[in-house]
C-alpha cells in the first residue's frame, strides 16, 4: 500500500509503529547522494566505526560496472577527448528551464494549438514537463545542471583540485590549522597529483604539449602569477603510461567489499523528504523514499542522516521536508562562477620549438616513422596540457590552460586537436543574500506537510533561481576577460568559432552557498561540522556547504568540509553505542 499521501504526523506514527506489511529499512547512517562527498562520509564512518552500517541512496542508476567510476577512464575517450563531450551532454539535466515560446504561425487546419490568453505578450506558451513557469529568464542560471547517476558529477568531472587562495576561504568557520590537516586527507582520498603531465621517474617529459605550454607561460608572465601544473585527481597508469586513471566516486570509497556487507547502495531511489521527530524537535525520525523502478514508497530510519545531493538537490530535499521556516538561510547566499572561454591554435614558433628540442627528437622520429607525412612533431598519444594560473589578490580569478572535455569546446574537424589549447578563466561572484534558489510549494497546516507546487521531472519541487551579478562582478569579469585575451596572445591565434566569450550563467557547475556552513543560524544552514542548525542527527554535504565565493574548483574543499562532518557523525554513533546521545 503506497504511503506517499500521508501527513507528516502519519509518517511519524508509521515510523514509530511500522505495520508488518510495510517494514522499514534501517541502517546506522543513511547518506543521500553517491558523489565524492557522500563517499567521503561513507568511507570515513565505515573505517572509524567498525560496526556501523551505511545505506547510500541515489536517484540515478549505476551506469558502469564499478559503482561511481569516472567514464573518461575508457581508452576510446583518452584517444579522442572530443568524443567525451557528448557523454557530458548526455549526463547533464538542466535545473530550471523557462517555458519556451511555442507559437507556430504556419500551423493551419484543425491542429491543436495553445489558447490565446489575456496575460500579455509571451502568454502563448506550453509548459513542458520539467519546464519552470516561475523562472525569470534574466535571473536564471541558464546552464546550471545536475547529473543523476551513481557517482554524480564525478563520472565526468575534470578532476581539477586546486587548493583555494586564503581570500577564497576566508569565511570558512573551520580553523586553518584543522583545515590544513583535512585538506591533506582530502588529497589522499581524491588521489590528487600535480606531476602526472610533467616528468616521469627517469626525468623525461611525459607530455610535450604540457611542458611547452607551461614553459611559454612561465617565460612570458611575471613570476607573481605562479604558473604551475594543475593539481588533478588523476594517476598515470603503470601498465601503459600513455593513459591515466581519473578519480571517480569509487576512488574515494575504495573497495566496498572490505566493509563486509556494512555498506549498501540503493539506486534509482528518490529521497523524497525527511520526517522530523514529533517528540524530539531536534532530530529526524526517518526518511521517505520512492523506488523509481516500481513507484513504491519506502520508509527508512537511521541514527544519522546525511544529505549530499548537490548544491541544488540538497536544499531541494530540505525544502520538500518542510524545513525552510526552521532554516532561513536555506538556498540563499548562492554564488556561481562566471566563465571566460576561448580556444587557440598554437603559434608557429611554439611548434618550431617542439620540432627542434633535442629532448623530444627520438619521440618525434618514432612518430613520423609510423605516420609518414604528418607535418606536426607531436605524437598522437602525447598527453594534453594541464596548466594553471592560480587566483591571486591582484588577479582574483582562477585560470586553466589545458585541453579537456566539457559540455562545449569540442574541436571537431576545424583543426588538428594536437595544436589546440583551451583557456578557461573562472570569476568569483559577490556574496549577497538575495542571490538564491527557491522551491515552489507551501506548508499546508491542514495536511501538516509540505505541498509542492510545480515539480521537476522527478516529482520534486521545482528549483527556481533568482541570481544576478553585481556591478562589482561585472567590472571584475571584464578585467578577467582582458587577462584571458592577453594570455591567449602568448600562445597563438583564436580558433574560429571559439573566440573570447562569456559562457552561459551556471555552466561552471560550481554553485556554492545554498547550504553554507557557519556559526550564525540566521545566515548559515549548518555549523562548522556541517550539522544542520537545530538538529542533532542531520548533516549536509557538497559544494553548497562552502560559505565563500571561490574562483577555483570546489570539490577538494567540499571533501575537506565533509571529513570534519564525518568526524561529528562518528561522535554521534559513539554516543549511541554507549547508550546516550551526544
For β-strands 263-266 and 145-147, DSSP reports them as: unpaired
Q: What is the pLDDT of residue 441?
A: 65
Ramachandran category for residue 441: left, alpha or beta (phi over 0 → left; psi -120 to 50 → alpha)? left
Judge whether 113 lies within some domain: no
**CA separation, residue 43 to residues 123, 155, 199, 354, 538 (Å):** 51, 18, 32, 45, 18
- For residue 240, indicate whether it is catalytic: no
Q: What is the mean pLDDT of the chain?
A: 92
Each residue of 507-559: pLDDT tens digit?
999 999 999 999 999 999 999 999 999 999 999 999 999 999 999 999 999 99
Q: Is the pLDDT of residue 429 over 60?
A: yes
pLDDT band at 119 (very low <50, low <70, confident <90, very high): low
Q: Is the pLDDT of residue 466 over 50?
A: yes
pLDDT band at 402 (very low <50, low <70, confident <90, very high): very high
Q: Is the pLDDT of residue 46 over 80?
A: yes
**CA separation, residue 553 to residues 178, 337, 350, 556 (Å):** 21, 10, 29, 8
pLDDT band at 101 (very low <50, low <70, confident <90, very high): low
- For residue 553, indicate whether it is catalytic: yes
Q: What is the pLDDT of residue 97?
A: 85
H/E run at residue 40: helix 36-48
Query: CA-to-CA distance for 204 and 371, rounded, in angstroms?
Result: 23
Query: CA-to-CA distance for 469 and 12, rounded, in angstroms?
Result: 43
Catalytic-labelled residue, pool 132, 211, 543, 553: 553
Judge whether 392 lies within some domain: yes
Each residue of 214-253: pLDDT tens digit?
999 999 999 999 999 999 999 999 999 999 999 999 999 9
Nearest by Cα to 423 from 382, 481, 484: 484
Judge whether 81 lies within some domain: no
Query: CA-to-CA distance for 76 and 499, rounded, in angstroms?
Result: 28
Judge whether 500 lies within some domain: yes
**CA separation, residue 518 to residues 378, 521, 525 (Å):** 50, 8, 7
Each residue of 191-211: pLDDT tens digit?
999 999 999 988 999 999 999
Confirm if 355 and 364 have CB atoms less than 8 A apart.
yes
Residues of the chain with pLDDT > 90, as a percent, come to: 80
Q: Is the pLDDT of residue 364 over 70?
A: yes
Q: Is the pLDDT of residue 1 over 50?
A: no
Q: Is the pLDDT of residue 445 over 70?
A: no
Judge whether 331 lies within some domain: no
Judge whether 408 lies within some domain: yes
Return the DSSP state at 409.
-
Catalytic-labelled residue, pool 193, 367, 510, 533: 510
Judge whether 480 lies within some domain: yes
Among the residues of 191-321, which ranges form H helices? 208-220, 249-253, 310-320
Residue 364's domain spans which residues? 195-229+338-427+468-504
Q: What is the pLDDT of residue 21?
A: 76
| Matching residue, cell 582520498 | 189
Confirm if 334 and 467 have CB atoms less than 8 A apart.
yes
Domain total in the chain: 1
Query: What's the whole-number mean pLDDT along residues 62-74?
Result: 96
Q: Is the pLDDT of residue 108 over 90?
A: no
Query: CA-to-CA distance for 333 and 329, rounded, in angstroms?
Result: 8
Query: What's the whole-number mean pLDDT along residues 394-400?
Result: 98
Confirm if 179 and 169 have CB atoms less than 8 A apart.
yes
What 3 state SS string does 379-406 have?
A: CCCCCCCEEEECCCCCCCEEEEEECCCC
Q: What is the pLDDT of residue 582?
A: 40
Please report how many Cα atoms fall inside a 13 Å half-sphere around the Cα of residue 562, on the Cβ side: 35
Say what the pTM is.
0.93
Judge whether 355 lies within some domain: yes
**Phi/psi at 523 (5° precision):** -125, 20
Q: What is the pLDDT of residue 580?
A: 47
- Is the model more confident about 97 or about 396? 396
Query: CA-to-CA distance for 383 and 32, rounded, in angstroms?
Result: 36
Amino acid at each position: 500500500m503506497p504511503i506517499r499521501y500521508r501527513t507528516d504526523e502519519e509518517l511519524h506514527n508509521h515510523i514509530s509503529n511500522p505495520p508488518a506489511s510495510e517494514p522499514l529499512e534501517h541502517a546506522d547512517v543513511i547518506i543521500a547522494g553517491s558523489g565524492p562527498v557522500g563517499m567521503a562520509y561513507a568511507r570515513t564512518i565505515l573505517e572509524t566505526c567498525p560496526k556501523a552500517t551505511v545505506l547510500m541512496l541515489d536517484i540515478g542508476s549505476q551506469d558502469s560496472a564499478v559503482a561511481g567510476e569516472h567514464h573518461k577512464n575508457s581508452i576510446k575517450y583518452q584517444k579522442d577527448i572530443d568524443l567525451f563531450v557528448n557523454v557530458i551532454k548526455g549526463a547533464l539535466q538542466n535545473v530550471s528551464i523557462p517555458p519556451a515560446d511555442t507559437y507556430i504561425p504556419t500551423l493551419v487546419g484543425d491542429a491543436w494549438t495553445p489558447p490565446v490568453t489575456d496575460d500579455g505578450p509571451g502568454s502563448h506558451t506550453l509548459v513542458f514537463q520539467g519546464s519552470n513557469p516561475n523562472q525569470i529568464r534574466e535571473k536564471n542560471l541558464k546552464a546550471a545542471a545536475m547529473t543523476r547517476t551513481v557517482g554524480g558529477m564525478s563520472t565526468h568531472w575534470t578532476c581539477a583540485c586546486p587548493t583555494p587562495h586564503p581570500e577564497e576561504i576566508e569565511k570558512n568557520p573551520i580553523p586553518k590549522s584543522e583545515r590544513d590537516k583535512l585538506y591533506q586527507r582530502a588529497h589522499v582520498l581524491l588521489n590528487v597529483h600535480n606531476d602526472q603531465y610533467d616528468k616521469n621517474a627517469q626525468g623525461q617529459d611525459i607530455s610535450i604539449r604540457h611542458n611547452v605550454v607551461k614553459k611559454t607561460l612561465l617565460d612570458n608572465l611575471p613570476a607573481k602569477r605562479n604558473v604551475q601544473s594543475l593539481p588533478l585527481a588523476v594517476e598515470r597508469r603503470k601498465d601503459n603510461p600513455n593513459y591515466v586513471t581519473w578519480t571517480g566516486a569509487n576512488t574515494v570509497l575504495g573497495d566496498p567489499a572490505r566493509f563486509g556487507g556494512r555498506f549498501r547502495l540503493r539506486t534509482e531511489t528518490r529521497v523524497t523528504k525527511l520526517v522530523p521527530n514529533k517528540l524530539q524537535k531536534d532530530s529526524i525520525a526517518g526518511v521517505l523514499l520512492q523506488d523509481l523502478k516500481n513507484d513504491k514508497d519506502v520508509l527508512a530510519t537511521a541514527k544519522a542522516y546525511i544529505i549530499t545531493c548537490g548544491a541544488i538537490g540538497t536544499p531541494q530535499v530540505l525544502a520538500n521536508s518542510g524545513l525552510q521556516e526552521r532554516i532561513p538561510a536555506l538556498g540563499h547566499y548562492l554564488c556561481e562562477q562566471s566563465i571566460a572561454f576561448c580556444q587557440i591554435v598554437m603559434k608557429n614558433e611554439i611548434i618550431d620549438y617542439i620540432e627542434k628540442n633535442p629532448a623530444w627528437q627520438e619521440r618525434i622520429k618514432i612518430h613520423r616513422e609510423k605516420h609518414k607525412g604528418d607535418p606536426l612533431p607531436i605524437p598522437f598519444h602525447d598527453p594534453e596540457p594541464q596548466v594553471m594560473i592560480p587566483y591571486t589578490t591582484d588577479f582574483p580569478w582562477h585560470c586553466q590552460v589545458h585541453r579537456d572535455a566539457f559540455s562545449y569546446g569540442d574541436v571537431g574537424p576545424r583543426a588538428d586537436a594536437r595544436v589546440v589549447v583551451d583557456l578557461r578563466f573562472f570569476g568569483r561572484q559577490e556574496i549577497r543574500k538575495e542571490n538564491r534558489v527557491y522551491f515552489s510549494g507551501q506548508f499546508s497546516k491542514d495536511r501538516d506537510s509540505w505541498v509542492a507546487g510545480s515539480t521537476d521531472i522527478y516529482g520534486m519541487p521545482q528549483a527556481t533561481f533568482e541570481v544576478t551579478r553585481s556591478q562589482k562582478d561585472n567590472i571584475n569579469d571584464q578585467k578577467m576577460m582582458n587577462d584571458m585575451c592577453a594570455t591567449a596572445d602568448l600562445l597563438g591565434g583564436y580558433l574560429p568559432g571559439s573566440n573570447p566569450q562569456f559562457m552561459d550563467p551556471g555552466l561552471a557547475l560550481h554553485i556554492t552557498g545554498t547550504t553554507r556552513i557557519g556559526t550564525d543560524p540566521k545566515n548559515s544552514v549548518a555549523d562548522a561540522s556541517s550539522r544542520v542548525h537545530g538538529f542533532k542527527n542531520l548533516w549536509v554535504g557538497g559544494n553548497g556547504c562552502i560559505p565563500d565565493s571561490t574562483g577555483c574548483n570546489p570539490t577538494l574543499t567540499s571533501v575537506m568540509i565533509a571529513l570534519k562532518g564525518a568526524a561529528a557523525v562518528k561522535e554521534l554513533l559513539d554516543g549511541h553505542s554507549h547508550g546516550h546521545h551526544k
